Amino acid sequence: MYYNLAQLLKEPTGSTRDYEVDDSFVGPEHGMDRAQGWVQVIRTHAGLLVRAELETQVNLTCSRCLDQFELKSRLKMEEESYPTPDPATGKTTESSEETGGVIHLDDQHLLDMTEVVRQYALSEAPIKPLCCEECLGLCPECGTNLNKEKCKCN
């Protein structure tokens, strides 16, 4: 999820770029997850305002039965970034890293949305993910997945 914004940074305040997103990213459990939706980048006086609405499909592990399952969520984000250096003046300005932002714009003015999408997806994932509310988990004696079969321990 990289976007070249060098030209946008030379344009006047209020200029926009719209992008369709259908891409993979490394998710909360380090597997390849999916994001689909749109990203809008708006030129501001100090830098860039990035807005996005994405639907993500994140692969998680159930905390009870340890089976993999897919969690779908809708992410709305709005973040600011400040370019370094400014292509119009050549002057270096404060970067998003120095101001605590999560959007990174590199020296070639490429916007990297991968990390911000991963962080937003991580914030949407439950602390104890469950494949379903009725998940029975694993037998504490033999480790059988009680959702799939009954064990002979009890």
- 90 contact partners, CB below 8 Å, separation of at least 6: none
pTM: 0.76
Query: Which strands make up the sheet holding 68-81, listed edge to edge?
Result: 16-26, 32-43, 48-61, 68-81
**Confidence grade of residue 19 (pLDDT, cut at 50, 70, 90):** very high
Q: What pLDDT score does 94 carry?
A: 43
Q: Is residue 131 part of a domain?
A: no
**What is the residue range of 28's domain?**
2-124
pLDDT digits (tens, 9 = 90+) for 70-99: 999 999 999 988 766 555 666 545 444 444
Percent of the chain surpassing pLDDT 90: 56
Q: Is residue 58 part of a domain?
A: yes
DSSP 50: E
* Averaged pLDDT for residues 10-35: 90
Q: Is residue 56 part of a domain?
A: yes
The answer to whether 48 and 83 have CB atoms below 8 angstroms apart is yes
